[in-house]
A and B are shown apart, each in its own frame.
Chain A
């Protein structure tokens, strides 16, 4: 159980655990050993609209296992096959099972499906059969909107076209779930948004408290240049609408697609960084973390285009703010230790009540060390530009999302009261109930050092790895 879990929650979990134990054949661990001490294999079969399941168990104590099944009613079919207990959701499911184990070691698992040494759990899913049930190929990718496709196309394509999905869970120093489908987007049209090969790339490594990092290896330039290749007709219209406005910012001087996005490279990395705590009196009740997106620059001439576009956007934004009788953003040239750019700041907050969310923001677009950085604060920009300047790099294959439990918990704690009220309003909980929810979330987050999700589309297969490392 995560350390720091509120006592009443820990007690609740403990009671539930205790109730489950004696009601079967002793404690839960003993029950498992008696029923399936030698392992278990679960199968799911689709039969028209109906699902059947099978279970091959190698009980530690066959008699105890039979008694355990007996207590769960006579709704299932079963038979002993030597030391194995075979169970089916009905007689037909039981008949569908092999009559002998797959290897001389007595394993009921088909090793041809997943070879995973040391995996505590292995699984295989017949994707083709699942798709037949759902009625056809290409349904997932086609159902995604523009941003959804940009983010999830490799996974959606693999699920749409793969035959077999293999899963394995390895519990060692970390808990690692690897899911692999035997299809890759690289051969498809959408694959041209990805870099050639899957050797991976180097991205800046930001030091200090980083709540989350998301690296995406995709070409936004190609997508905007040829939207019809990648997007649905509705998505193409959205891109055209965006460009009809965006191209107006720099007018005839440049094309946003070719001379701005086309002069940037991949991969793009988004860093979510721990916020700097202002003095209590100046602290908004809801304190956002710092955000900074970083992309490599392919052609330094992009800087002039970005500066011109930002100058115009600043004027438009301030005109809108003036119409709403809001104080204008103060636009200024910004120069940090590792780069320079254009920053915007709100005038010092002098209004009634606690400062608003945006009072601590100072959005900035900066260039330095071959990178473009767009950040919510100048401090975040400085941190990421420093990382761009540093020789240490992180090697990333495919897309990567990494979350840090303790840093996220710290960030949530700075806005606890506002989040508690939001939960009261959204969920109808009382103050104590909402506070307890965040206490539990805090304990769970602090128990996870980091959680990482990696998506690697290789030449023939796509692999998704989810790895959780517990805080020691």
Chain B
């Protein structure tokens, strides 16, 4: 049976709040309860259209890019990225930019250039939902990545293999799908792929223009050829399919799932957006195996909490909160990006998450609007309050034990009861899951 067979809602298996919340969390950064309820009413097709509308129909992500980099501050660029995620104009685009940032993990700690980092993220926004070979070609010309992986000192006389190695191992193929000789030859092809005046510069006099052989292809190859050759390999399709399945569906995808998604990728002309639309509309995506199978990253938790409340908060304060929880955008811990999943949660991290939401609801993380009391206005009975908080935070899908605990909190709550109950709901194990 094809794991990517389309999910068709039925009376027995409806597209309900639970499934809608799952889609919006995985293909974006979550949504408010009224937005989720509206999409449930409009149905699965409308929800899929909502998370991945045609790019031409939504505002470009770089409309305020020049203003964001004007201050020359990496903090401002981070806040701008969080602001974009909060805007949610194209949930899948923003989600994929987050994915690609982890995939082509590049850190400003070495690049030391907020403008280059912002432009790299803008490349993800622009090309991240398109063809992977185009994205890979652009990335091998990206000033931030070239600096991060030392390709700006890769010359014909002294080839540097850092970028070539990561192209094969981390970006396009995965271990076991290339040889050391391929790396050496690709490094030669990438010589002279440098940066000047903050942009890509092909330094012809530093480029090795002799014949090379990369992954069985011979010729006077250069960086663009390396990108095209690597992206065209069948191993690349399986490598990317596994990455997407881990990110969007389940931390441990099965072999048949990987094969099916790699096949869909090939079928759709290696177009990332088209492939992911198939995945997001599949039975696999909405399966019990996928549901709440991942742990929220700090970005999912922080941005998602604000999105879920349907309010606004200060992006700079959210950036600081994410950093406290262990995720500093534009500064991944290594070239492998964030390891995620279980690494995100520990008793200390849970406490920090709880404190973040308490601060957020109390207005100590900036101007959160609307306030908790306004969100749960009209709910006065403890059981109604507990039910409303369950719907807001967990799509009404809680175990009997969790529901009972939430009800106890609602009964005992004093003062700002709405904030207390919402806070309690965000402390539940279910809320830590994506």
Contact = CB atoms under 8 A, between A and B. Distances in A.
Interface of A: 284-286, 324-325, 327, 349-354, 356-358, 415, 417-418, 420-422, 424-430
A284 B71 CA distance: 10
Contact of B316 (A285, A327, A426): A426
A421 B62 CA distance: 13
A324 B79 CA distance: 24
A285 B63 CA distance: 13
The 7 closest A-B pairs by CB, nearest first: A351-B198, A285-B70, A286-B70, A428-B314, A425-B79, A354-B66, A421-B67
Contacts of B366: 427-428
The binding surface of chain A is classed by DSSP as loop
Contact of A418 (B71, B79, B119, B312): B71
B374 interface: no
B80 A428 contact: no
B367 A353 contact: no
Contact of B315 (A352, A357, A425): A425
B67 A417 contact: yes
A418 B198 contact: no
20 contacts: A325-B147, A325-B152, A325-B195, A349-B197, A351-B198, A351-B199, A353-B65, A356-B72, A358-B72, A418-B67, A421-B68, A425-B314, A426-B79, A427-B367, A428-B314, A428-B315, A428-B366, A428-B367, A429-B312, A430-B312
B294 interface: no
A420 B83 CA distance: 13
Nearest to B119: A352
Nearest to B194: A325
Contacts of A415: 70
Contact of A353 (B66, B80, B195): B66
Given A325-B152, A354-B69, A418-B70, 5 more contacts: A324-B112, A351-B199, A353-B69, A424-B83, A426-B316
B76 A425 contact: yes
B70 A357 contact: yes
Interface string B65-96: 11111111000100110010000000000000
A425 B316 contact: yes
Contacts of B147: 325
A357 B80 contact: no
A354 B147 CA distance: 21
Nearest to B195: A325
Contacts of A351: 115, 197-199
B80 A421 contact: yes
A430 B314 CA distance: 10
Interface in B37-52: none
B115 A356 contact: yes
A367 B312 CA distance: 52
A137 B64 CA distance: 52
A418 B112 CA distance: 21
B152 A428 contact: no
Contacts of A425: 76, 79-80, 83, 314-316
A21 to B, nearest CB: 31
B313 interface: yes
Nearest to B198: A351
Nearest to A349: B197
B199 A352 contact: yes
A357 B366 CA distance: 28
Of listed A285, A352, A354, A428, residue having the most chain B CB within 10 A = A428
B365 to A, nearest CB: 9
Contacts of A354: 66, 69-70
Given A425-B76, A426-B314, A427-B367, A357 B112 contact: no
Contacts of A353: 65-66, 69, 115, 119
A428 B368 CA distance: 8
A285 B66 CA distance: 7
A357 B314 contact: no
A420 to B, nearest CB: 8
B197 A286 contact: no
A443 B152 CA distance: 50
Contacts of B66: 285, 353-354
Contacts of B152: 325
Nearest to B83: A425
Nearest to A358: B72
Nearest to A420: B67
Given A325-B152, A427-B367, A284 B70 contact: yes
A320 to B, nearest CB: 11
A50 to B, nearest CB: 27
Of listed B69, B119, B199, residue having the most chain A CB within 10 A = B69
Contact of B71 (A325, A327, A422): A422
A286 B71 contact: yes
A357 B312 CA distance: 29
Nearest to B313: A428
A285 B67 contact: yes
A415 B66 CA distance: 12
A325 B119 CA distance: 18
A185 B316 CA distance: 42
A421 B64 contact: yes
A349 B69 CA distance: 15
Interface in B313-342: 313-317
A348 to B, nearest CB: 9
Nearest to B68: A421
A397 B79 CA distance: 45
Nearest to A428: B314
Interface in B100-117: 112-113, 115
A90 to B, nearest CB: 30
A278 to B, nearest CB: 14
A45 B368 CA distance: 39
A420 B147 CA distance: 32
Nearest to B368: A428
Interface string B172-183: 000000000000
A436 to B, nearest CB: 15
Interface in B13-67: 64-67
